[in-house]
Structure 1
Amino acid sequence: MRVLLVTTGSRGDVEPFAALGFALARAGHEPLLAAPRRLTEDAAARGLPVAPLDDGIFALQEEVAGTGTRASLTAARSALPLLRRWLDDLATLRDCGADVVVYAPKSLGAPHLADRLGVPSIAALPVPLFTPTARFPSPLSPVRPPRFLNRASWRLAGVVEAPYRRMVRTWRSEVLGLAGPTPGLTERVAHDGVLHAWSPHLLPAPEDWTADLAPTGFWSLPPDGGWSPPAALDRFLDAGEPPVYVGFGSMLAKDPGSFTREVLDGLHRSGRRAVLATGWGALRPTRVPDTVHVLDQAPHALLLPRTAVAVHHGGVGTVAAALRAGVPQVVKPFLGDQPFWARRVHEIGVAAAPLTGRLTGDRLAAAIDDAAARADTARTTAARVGEEDGASAAVVRIERVAAG
C-alpha cells in the first residue's frame, strides 16, 4: 500500500507524520511524506521518502516576528499568494500513485488531491477540532463557555478556513481539474474520518464519540541516534542538579527582550539552573548568568529526561515529549489550542496552573516550584504513556480505510 502523508506547520506538526511514515514502512507499506522543505530534512536523513514542498510561508513568519498587529495584518494578505504556491507544489504529486492520502487539515489541498487521485483519504489531528462533543468546548474557543454551549463552540472550526476557501475552490477547479462543489474542511473531515493522534492518558475519548474517534496514542519518533549534546551543554547538564528547560518553539513574543528578562528573573527567583532554547524568537537573551545555558534547539526526547521541569508554550508536540520524559510542566500558552492543552496537563496533575496573561518573574518562579512538586505524578503518567504505540495503531486504521 502506497500512502501519501501531507502536513504543514511547525516541526511539531511534521514529526508525528514522520513517525507515522516509519510505522507504515515497518508494516510493509510505502510511505511518502510531503511537507515544507526545511522540515523534511531530518526525516530524509533517517531514510524516509519525502516530497519537499514550498516553504515560503516561513520567511513571512520570520519577517513579521514581533512587528505588531498592523504589520501582521498586512502580512496576512501576503500569505495568500504563498499558500497558493504551496498548493501548486502539492499538485505536482497528482501522479504519485498513492493508494490512500493521510492529511493534516491545515494542509488545505490534500483531500482534494486524493479526489484527483481517485483514492480514499483520512484526516489526522493531534488536537480535537472537527468532532463535536458536549463534554468540553472546542480547543479554539477563546473562553470557556457554559457547559450547555460546549457543543455549539465547535462551529469555530469552520471559521478557520474562511480566508482560504475561495482560493482552494479555484485551485481545485483550475489546477486539479475537478468539477462540482468544494466541500469545506468540517464537511470533509466528517466524510473522511479522522485519526486522533494524542494519548488517551492526556485526553480520553468523550462518551459521545464513536469508537473510531478514540485517540490512538502519540505518534512519536524514536530519539535520533546520530545526535549527541554539544560539549558545552553536556558539561552544563553534568555540573549540577537537573536544570529547568525553557523553550517556546516557533512562538514569537511581541517584545522578546522584555519577555526574556521576565523569564530570567523567574529563574533567578526560583534558585534553579536552566537551559534556554531560543527557537524562533520568543527568547532573545543577550547576557545570562552562569546558571543558564543558551542553545538554539535540541531534540526533546534526548534533552527533557535530563531536566527537572519543562517550561513551554503548550504545543501538543512539546506536551507529548514532556509527558514521555516524565517531566512536570509549566505552560505559558500563546495561541490556538495551547490554552486547551495547558488546562489539560494541569487537570491530570502533571503541570502547574497555566500562566495565562502577562508573564512575570514572580509568577514563573511560583509555577516552577508548583510543577516540581508534581514530579511523582509526571513519572507515573510517563510509564503509562510509554506503553502506547500510537503510530502502529494508526496504521491499522489506515489499512481499514484503504481496504474500503
Structure 2
Amino acid sequence: MRVLLVTMGSRGDVEPFAALGLELARAGHEPLLAAPRRLTEDAAARGLPVAPLDDGVFALQEQVAGKGARASITAARSALPLLRRWLDDLATLRDSGADVVVYAPKTLGAPHLADLLGVPSIAALPIPLFTPTVRFPSPLSPVPPPRFLNRASWGLAGVIEAPYRRMVRSWRSEVLGLTGPTTGLAERVARDGVLHAWSPHLLPAPDDWPAELAPTGFWSLPPNGRWAPSEALDRFLDAGEPPVYVGFGSMVVKNPEAFTDAVLDGLHRSGRRAVLATGWGALRPSRVPETVHVLDQAPHSLLLPRTSVAVHHGGVGTVAAALRAGVPQVIRPFLGDQPFWARRVHELGIGAPALTGKVTADRFAAAIDDAAGRADAARELGARVGEEDGVATAVTRIERTAES
C-alpha cells in the first residue's frame, strides 16, 4: 500500500507524521512524507522517502517572530500568495501513485489531491477539533462555556478554513481540474474519518463518540542519535538536583525582558536550578545566574527526562513530551488549544493550575512548588503512556480505510 502523508507547520507538526511513516515502512507499506522543505532533512536521514514542498510561508513566520503586532499584520497580507505557492507545489504530487492520503487539515489542499487521485483520505489531528461532543467544549474555546453550550462550541472549527476557502476553491478548479462543490473540512472529516493522535491517558474518547474515533496514542518519533548535550549543559545537568525546564517554543510576549525577569526571580525564590530554552523570543535573559543554563532549543525527548518540572506554553507536543518523561508540568498558555491542555493537565493531577494573566515572580515560584509536589502522579501516568504504541494503532486503522 502506497501512503501519501501530507503535513505542514512546525517541527512538532512534522515529527508525528515521520513517526507514522517509519511505522508504515516497518509494516511493509510504501510511505511518502510531503512536508515543508526545511523540515524533511531528519526524516530523509532516517531512510523515509520525502517530498520536500515549498516553505516560504514558514520563512515569513520566522521573519516576524517577536517583532510585534504591526509586523504580524503585514505578514498576514503576504501569507495568501505564499500559501497558494504551497498548494501549487502540493499539486505536483498528482503522480505519487498513492493508494490513500493521510493529511493534517492545515495543509488545505491534501484532501482535494486525494479526490484527484480517486483514493480515500483520512485526517490526522493531535487535538480534538472536528468531532463534537457534549462532554467537553472545543479546545478552541477561549474560556469554557456553560456545559449546555459544549456541543455548540465545536462550530469554532469552521473559522480555521474560512480565510482560505476561496483560494482553495479556485486552486481545486484551476490547477487540479476538479469540478463540483468544495466540501468543507468539518464535513469531510465527518464523512471520511480522522486519526486522533493523542494519548487516551491524557484525554479519553467521550462516550458519545463512535469507537473508531478513539485516540490512538501519541505518534512519537524516537531520538535520531544526532543530538547530544553540549559539555556545558551535560556538566550543568550533573551538577545538582534535576533542574526545572522552562521553554515556550515559538510563543512571543510583548515585553520579553520583563517576562524573563519574573521567571528568573521566581526560580530564585523557589530555590531551584533551571534550563531556559529561549526559542523564538519569549525568554530573553539579560542576566544569567549560575543556577540557570541557557540554550536555544533541545529535543524534549532527551532533555525532559533529566529535569524535575517542565514549564511551557501548553502545545500538545510539549504536553506529550513531558507526559512521556514523567515530569510534572506548569503551563503558561498563550493561545489556541493551550488553555484546554493546561486545564486537562491540572485535572489529571500532574500539573499546577494554569498560569494565566500576568506572571509574577511569586506566582511563578508557587506554581513550580505546586507542580513539584505532583511528581509521583506524573511519573505513574508517564509509565502508562510509555506502554502505548500509537503509530501501530494508526497503521491498522489506515489499512482498514484503504481496504474499505
TM-score category (smaller protein)? over 0.9
Instruction: Map Cα deviations across residues 10-61 of structure 1 (whole Å, 9 max, x no partner).
Output: 1111111111111111101111111111111111122111111111112222
Shift of 1:163: 0.3
Equivalent-residue separation in structure 2 for 1:259 and 1:45 (angstroms): 38
Instruction: Map Cα deviations across residues 155-187 of structure 1 (whole Å, 9 max, x no partner).
Output: 000111100000000111111111111111111
Equivalent-residue separation in structure 1 for 2:252 and 2:34 (angstroms): 26
Equivalent-residue separation in structure 2 for 1:274 and 1:106 (angstroms): 35
Q: Which amino acid in the other structure matches residue 170 of structure 2?
A: T
Equivalent-residue separation in structure 1 for 2:281 and 2:102 (angstroms): 31
Q: What's 2:36 paired with?
A: 36
- Where structure 2 has 5 or more consecutive residues not aligned to the other structure, the ranges are none
Corresponding position: 1:47 with 2:27 = no
- Pairing 1:82-231 to 2, within 5 Å after superposition: 82-231=82-231
Shift of 1:261: 1.6
Instruction: Map Cα deviations across residues 123-182 of structure 1 (whole Å, 9 max, x no partner).
Output: 000000000000000000112110000000000001111000000001111111111111
Equivalent-residue separation in structure 1 for 2:270 and 2:43 (angstroms): 38
Equivalent-residue separation in structure 1 for 2:226 and 2:268 (angstroms): 34
- Pairing 1:53-64 to 2, within 5 Å after superposition: 53-64=53-64
Q: Which amino acid in the other structure matches residue 5 of structure 2?
A: L
Equivalent-residue separation in structure 1 for 2:70 and 2:7 (angstroms): 29
Q: What's 2:5 paired with?
A: 5
Q: What's 2:75 paired with?
A: 75
Equivalent-residue separation in structure 2 for 1:110 and 1:252 (angstroms): 30
- TM-score normalised per structure 2: 0.98
- With 210-219 and 350-359 compared, the bigger mean Cα shift is at 350-359
- With 246-255 and 298-307 compared, the bigger mean Cα shift is at 246-255
| Structure 1 SS opposite 2:94 | coil
| Structure 2 SS opposite 1:21 | helix
Equivalent-residue separation in structure 1 for 2:281 and 2:95 (angstroms): 39
Equivalent-residue separation in structure 2 for 1:50 and 1:253 (angstroms): 35
Equivalent-residue separation in structure 2 for 1:333 and 1:23 (angstroms): 32
Identity over aligned pairs, percent: 84
Q: What's 2:330 paired with?
A: 330
Residues 333 and 355 of structure 1 are in contact (CA less than 8 Å); yes or no, is this contact kept in structure 2? yes
| Structure 1 SS opposite 2:395 | helix
| Structure 1 SS opposite 2:95 | coil
Equivalent-residue separation in structure 1 for 2:265 and 2:168 (angstroms): 47
| Structure 2 SS opposite 1:93 | helix
| Structure 2 SS opposite 1:151 | helix
Q: Which amino acid in the other structure matches residue 244 of structure 1?
A: V
Shift of 1:200: 0.5
Q: Which amino acid in the other structure matches residue 113 of structure 1?
A: L
- With 110-119 and 38-47 compared, the bigger mean Cα shift is at 38-47
| Structure 2 SS opposite 1:81 | helix
Residues 23 and 392 of structure 1 are in contact (CA less than 8 Å); yes or no, is this contact kept in structure 2? yes
- Where structure 1 has 5 or more consecutive residues not aligned to the other structure, the ranges are none
Shift of 1:284: 1.8
Equivalent-residue separation in structure 2 for 1:49 and 1:249 (angstroms): 28
Shift of 1:225: 2.2
Q: Which amino acid in the other structure matches residue 235 of structure 2?
A: R
Instruction: Map Cα deviations across residues 173-207 of structure 1 (whole Å, 9 max, x no partner).
Output: 11111111111111111111000000000000001
Q: Which amino acid in the other structure matches residue 333 of structure 2?
A: P
Q: What's 1:371 paired with?
A: 371
Q: Which amino acid in the other structure matches residue 227 of structure 2?
A: W
Q: What's 2:245 paired with?
A: 245
Q: Which amino acid in the other structure matches residue 53 of structure 1?
A: L
Equivalent-residue separation in structure 1 for 2:39 and 2:332 (angstroms): 25
Equivalent-residue separation in structure 2 for 1:55 and 1:158 (angstroms): 25
Residues 12 and 315 of structure 1 are in contact (CA less than 8 Å); yes or no, is this contact kept in structure 2? no
| Structure 2 SS opposite 1:94 | helix
- What is the count of residue pairs matched by the alignment? 404
- TM-score normalised per structure 1: 0.98
Equivalent-residue separation in structure 1 for 2:99 and 2:253 (angstroms): 42
Residues 66 and 255 of structure 1 are in contact (CA less than 8 Å); yes or no, is this contact kept in structure 2? no
Q: Which amino acid in the other structure matches residue 141 of structure 1?
A: S
Q: RMSD value over aligned CA atoms?
A: 1.1
Residues 332 and 356 of structure 1 are in contact (CA less than 8 Å); yes or no, is this contact kept in structure 2? yes
Equivalent-residue separation in structure 1 for 2:117 and 2:63 (angstroms): 36
Q: Which amino acid in the other structure matches residue 73 of structure 1?
A: I
Residues 10 and 250 of structure 1 are in contact (CA less than 8 Å); yes or no, is this contact kept in structure 2? no
| Structure 2 SS opposite 1:195 | strand
Instruction: Map Cα deviations across residues 95-132 of structure 1 (whole Å, 9 max, x no partner).
Output: 11111000000111100011111110000000000000
Q: Which amino acid in the other structure matches residue 3 of structure 1?
A: V
Equivalent-residue separation in structure 2 for 1:77 and 1:141 (angstroms): 26
Q: What's 1:301 paired with?
A: 301
Equivalent-residue separation in structure 2 for 1:94 and 1:107 (angstroms): 15
Q: Which amino acid in the other structure matches residue 173 of structure 1?
A: S
Equivalent-residue separation in structure 2 for 1:400 and 1:283 (angstroms): 46
Equivalent-residue separation in structure 2 for 1:17 and 1:282 (angstroms): 27
Instruction: Map Cα deviations across residues 330-370 of structure 1 (whole Å, 9 max, x no partner).
Output: 00111111111111011001110001122222111110000
Corresponding position: 1:310 with 2:310 = yes
Equivalent-residue separation in structure 1 for 2:268 and 2:298 (angstroms): 23
